[in-house]
A and B are shown apart, each in its own frame.
Chain A
Amino acid sequence: MRVLGISGSLRRGSFNSGLLRAAADSLPPGAELEVFDGLKAIPPYDADDDLEGGPEPVRALRAALAEADAVLIATPEYNASLPGVLKNALDWASRPHATNPLRGKPAAVVGASTGMFGAVWAQAEGRKVLATIGARVVDAELPVAEADERFDAEGRLADIEIEERLGEVVRELVAAAEARAEGLAARAA
């Protein structure tokens, strides 16, 4: 079971990247989380450049998505929505619509912000975008508000309640991936 983690923040000390590290620690046995680190290299979406699999950084993203059994996105909130780099990456990933690597794939969105609301709008936008792309979106939310107080000096999540809720989201995501695989296997049999 492979979960691909994507952080919507490029910042070195990103709380959302920290959330993904914490998510990796809360995975059930047999599951692993790999963090996609190529977001910054992805160029602005241009259909004219989307030839033969697209530019190399886009091919890397599409391959990572295709190899994953599930996707976990951790996003900050910029101006009440998703960061442009994350939306741009999802736009690349979504093409062509009928065969994109997110189709049918279980995906969950969590988010941290230093504000009062824990990126709830960005998470809602993320779920909407993923559902439109064709992902199997887990109906769960994890708003980590005042994130600067939830992580220690080394960038480790240091809030037991959030850790537990993150674990619930991750388990739900992994369960959705297992249910999908069972469904596909049952039909193949």
Chain B
Amino acid sequence: MTATATAIPAGTYKDDGVHSTAAFAVKHMLATFRGAFGRFSAELTVDEDGRAKLVGTVPVDTVIVKDENLAAHLQSPEFFDAEQHPEIRFESSEIAVDGSSVTLAGDLTIKGHTERVTAQGSVVGPIEDPFGNVKLGLQFETVVDRTKFGLNWNAPLPKGGFILANDVTLSVDLELLQG
């Protein structure tokens, strides 16, 4: 954990479950395929010294794609293996805030594989909402190689190359409520 250059007010912040998104994007032949998770939880804690920590978990069986058979395939051992590894987890080790820019480093665990990742993003607020609550916006993005997490499925194209790229962009948009 690192002291933030621009302090986020100390406290505990949690996503409200509705106005936040955890999504992924991966090149599928020609187009960018996008999906998201319907449910997840995120908690940001900032202590009096400005040190911040973010912990997020995502149940993989909440994946949202436009085809039910694809959703089922994504749960299978060829992809997330939801039966044996029901949860994706991120735990930050460092959060550096510089103005509105934020850099997070931490451990991302998918399918039982833990990899060190760094994400870039921005922080907005805090602001007060119409109901007297304190809200903080946090957005960040990173690119991971899915094969490092054991998500190896692919199929060759007839004239060379593969259907699915290995690099996957993970995007998280959090609207956090101060507890």
Contacts and interface: CB of A to CB of B under 8 A. Distances in A.
Contact of A135 (B68, B77, B86): B77
Given A97-B68, A98-B71, A134-B72, A104 B86 contact: no
A184 interface: yes
Interface string B38-77: 0000000000000000000000000000001101110111
A104 B82 CA distance: 9
Interface in A88-115: 97-98, 103-104
Interface of B: 68-69, 71-73, 75-78, 81, 83-84, 86, 153
A30 interface: no
Given A97-B68, A187-B86, A104 B73 contact: no
Provide the main secondary structure of the chain B interface: loop
Given A137-B77, A187-B86, 8 more contacts: A98-B68, A104-B76, A131-B77, A132-B73, A134-B73, A135-B77, A180-B83, A183-B84
Interface in A110-169: 131-137
A131 B76 CA distance: 8
Contacts of A132: 73, 78
Nearest to A137: B77
A173 B78 CA distance: 17
A103 B86 contact: no
B77 A104 contact: yes
A184 B77 CA distance: 14
Contacts of B153: 131
A66 to B, nearest CB: 15
Contacts of A187: 86
Nearest to B155: A128
A134 B84 CA distance: 13
25 contacts: A97-B68, A97-B69, A97-B72, A98-B72, A98-B75, A103-B72, A103-B75, A103-B76, A104-B76, A104-B77, A104-B81, A131-B77, A131-B78, A134-B75, A134-B76, A134-B78, A135-B76, A135-B77, A136-B77, A136-B81, A137-B77, A180-B83, A180-B84, A183-B84, A187-B86
A132 B71 CA distance: 12
A99 to B, nearest CB: 8
A97 B72 CA distance: 6
A141 B71 CA distance: 29
Nearest to A133: B76
B72 A184 contact: no
A184 B83 contact: yes
Contacts of B68: 97-98
A132 to B, nearest CB: 7
B77 A134 contact: yes
Contacts of A133: 76
Q: Which has the most chain B C-beta neighbours within 10 Å: A104, A134, A184?
A: A134
Q: Which has the most chain B C-beta neighbours within 10 Å: A132, A180, A184?
A: A132
B147 to A, nearest CB: 15
